[in-house]
Amino acid sequence: MALHESSPKTLWDISTLPIEGGAGSPQPGEAELFLGTPSVEIDPMFSPDGRWLAYQSNESGAMEVYARPFPGPGGKWMISNGGGGRPMWSPNGRELFYLAPDRRIMVVSYTAEGNSFVADKPRLWSETRVTTSALALAPDGKRFAVVKETDETDRQEAPTHVTVLLNFFDELKRRVPAE
């Protein structure tokens, strides 16, 4: 597992946390610092094969998406061009998605061999602007679940109603008792 955590000396850093034990009783191991610099490093994501880590950093002066080999050592490659964040690897092992500063989804095709990473030029994947807080790539790598950004005309409509049911099975047992 990869995560970002705050540090009083270096702001935000990337650490990895091994998961030990079997599928029935996974236990977190001890966190290890993977990337700690004076820059901000956040939103780490492992590639489908676990050999690469994509993340966003402001080391260039703007938030950009980078990739580097895991567990290292090796180089790093800037993936986005003109800003980017929220990297997401496609399950096909050939594409990396990210959000552009205007909140449109971008995609980059890539090839990775050994410790070499070659990324093509980023291209627009969708004209739709999305919120950054609700974005998930479908397991097939062909669709996203998103919350669309709203404009002023959309905001004047009635609010969306959401029902969250907690403890579903307890409620089911209460309503339909076992015979």
> Percent of the chain having pLDDT more than 70?
92
The per-residue pLDDT for 133 is: 67
| CA 142 to mean position of chain CA atoms | 16
User: What pTM value is reported for the model?
Assistant: 0.78
**3 vs 109, residue with greater confidence:** 109
pLDDT 10s digits, 113-142: 888 899 999 999 988 888 776 778 888 888
Mean pLDDT of 35-39: 90
pLDDT interval class at 148 (50, 70, 90): confident
- Find out whether 89 and 96 touch, Cβ atoms under 8 Å: yes
Question: Domains of the chain by range and CATH?
Answer: 2-150 (2.120.10.30)
Mean pLDDT of 8-16: 88
State how far the Cα of 93 lies from the Cα of 155, in Å rounded to an integer.
38
Q: Which class for 14: exposed (0-12), middle (13-18), buried (19 or more C-beta within 10 A)?
A: buried
